[in-house]
Amino acid sequence: NQQSTLPSATELAERARAAAERCGVDLNQVSGDHDVISPINGQPLYSVAWQDSAGVDAAIKTANDAFLQWRTVPAPVRGALVKRLGELLTEHKDDLAELVSAEVGKITSEARGEVQEMIDICEFALGLSRQLYGKTMVSERAGHRLMETWHPLGVVGVISAFNFPVAVWSWNTALALVCGDPVIWKPSETAPMCALASNALLQRAIAETEDAPEGLSQVVIGGADVGQALVENPGIALLSATGSTRMGRTVGPLVAERFGRSLLELGGNNAAIVTPSADLDLAVRGIVFAAAGTAGQRCTTMRRVIVHSSIGEELVQRLKAVYERLPIGDPQREGTLIGPLINERSFTGFDAAVQQAGEQGGEVVVGGARELATEAPEAFYVQPTLITMPGQSEVVRTETFAPITYVLTYDGDVTEAIALNNDVPQGLSSSIFTSDLGEAELFVSAAGSDCGIANVNIGTSGAEIGGAFGGEKETGGGRESGSDAWQAYMRRATNTINYSGALPLAQGVNFDV
């Protein structure tokens, strides 16, 4: 099931460069001496210039000037900018998908899906621009009114990861812009061009929108020092960071120390429970997409299956049969479902986890090895892997960003499975496959899954933008995207308005002078 013939270095680079240019990137202007490697063949695509912390400070100054102007533009007018961005993203969907695929190795359908997620959030934010509602509260005093108003917050810093190299920026940016905030983006070092292309489209939308200052959107390409500068600068009112729990442990306290706001989207260790009444056809399809899709590199990837022992063997055999025929290879080729891992370090992590699982009593059912190593020694393709485990040992409790799924069984009722679901440090996504209404309701209840996302008869990944996205515990607690996630991008003012002509004090206090 491996597909040979990977695209040559020049072929891939030429296509990516052309796509970037069509989005409006001036390749000469952004070029520099940091190689960008495509995980598809392990070869360089182009080289880009990196900025340093001084560049970040300058960007924050520019953004703050833009903020002072943008915050007074009416929100529905701000919405028009995001509407235009959505149109340009629609027009350049294939270009951006091409870049996403070249830089991070997504299969074309998933790369296009990522851009669709950007378009979706633009539409959501446009509607939101007329719905930044505050409450009105009844006052305990006659002739008084209490209300709350939502105001723009300030400059938003976005640090994004390689695996959703553009969509995560768009969730933050579409909301931030309608909320009245400029955005400074530090994309993943691995995927700078799709970021520059996204920003070029937004710059075009800004140029075409009256009252939209150029400084509303900036990208700073660089390494850890650039991220650090964003984290530490009090000019960043909200720092939205996606990445590992380790990264969050550094970022969170630093932002808190300066009383900044942070929105953290960190590790996941997402499980599916499969109960005896589950529709197994559905469960198999749901598990395979969530576990093996995106080569296991979503924060929502299904890393654990908790199946009732009465159907465990059947489920494992059915999954094995599907895993054995998953097409691995060039992600831009029609029919491929499994693309490469992002880099060698990721492969080392995969390999180490498979070893550790073995040492901790696991048995590899299918997968566990590298593919296409001879043809592309610098690219890292692996077989999606299923490992049965006797319990939730150390390796099972740790997020490995690769297509490894551990299968655990439970013997009792669903509460035992829910306890296993919750007994890991992370709390992003979870799901249950069942036809039993009681089990489904229990799973989504207060006594059920402790994750930010709890699904029924659907896998753990592939959330729509309309819901709030994020998770609990070591996942960091932040919520992005839909529902009322916009509130993180605004400050709330509570207003008491006295139209009585008298001055009655609250709580019956007397203070006659």
Active site residue ranges: 265, 299
Contact between 405 and 303 under an 8 Å Cβ cutoff? The reply is: yes
Residues 350-379 that bind ligand UN1 (CB under 6 A): none
Q: Is the CB of 95 or the CB of 265 nearer to ligand UN1?
A: 265
Q: Compute the distance between CA of residue 148 and CA of residue 150 in angstroms, rounded to an integer.
A: 7
Using alpha carbons only, give the angle 145, 148, 153 rounded to the nearest 5 degrees: 155
300 touching ligand UN1, by CB under 6 A: yes
Q: Residues touching ligand UN1: how many (CB under 6 A)?
A: 11
298 touching ligand UN1, by CB under 6 A: yes
User: CB 198 → ligand UN1: shortest distance, Å?
Assistant: 16
Q: Is the CB of 93 or the CB of 370 nearer to ligand UN1?
A: 93
- Maximum C-alpha span of the chain: 89
String of b and e for 179-211 (b: at least 16 CB within 10 Å)? bbbbbbbbbbbbbbbbbbbbbbbbbbbbeebee
Q: Is the CB of 169 or the CB of 410 nearer to ligand UN1?
A: 169
- Residue from 46, 124, 162, 164 binding ligand UN1 (CB under 6 A): 164
- Residue from 20, 104, 221, 463 binding ligand UN1 (CB under 6 A): 463
- Residue from 7, 384, 427, 462 binding ligand UN1 (CB under 6 A): 462
Q: Compute the distance between CA of residue 403 and CA of residue 386 in angstroms, rounded to an integer.
A: 8
Q: Is the CB of 135 or the CB of 246 nearer to ligand UN1?
A: 246
- Residue from 62, 163, 346, 421 binding ligand UN1 (CB under 6 A): 163
Contact between 79 and 173 under an 8 Å Cβ cutoff? The reply is: no
Which strands, in side-by-side order, build the sheet including 490-498? 136-137, 144-152, 490-498
User: CB 463 → ligand UN1: shortest distance, Å?
Assistant: 3
52: nearest Cα among 285, 250, 226, 213: 226
Structure tokens, 329: 């290879």
Q: What DSSP assignment string belongs to 460-479?
A: SS---TTSEE--EETT-S--
Site track for ligand UN1 across 112-131, x = CB under 6 A: -----x--------------
Q: Is the CB of 144 or the CB of 285 nearer to ligand UN1?
A: 285
Q: By Cβ distance, which residue is nearest to ligand UN1?
A: 463
User: CB 248 → ligand UN1: shortest distance, Å?
Assistant: 13
Chain residues binding ligand UN1 by CB under 6 A are: 117, 163-164, 168, 242, 298-300, 461-463
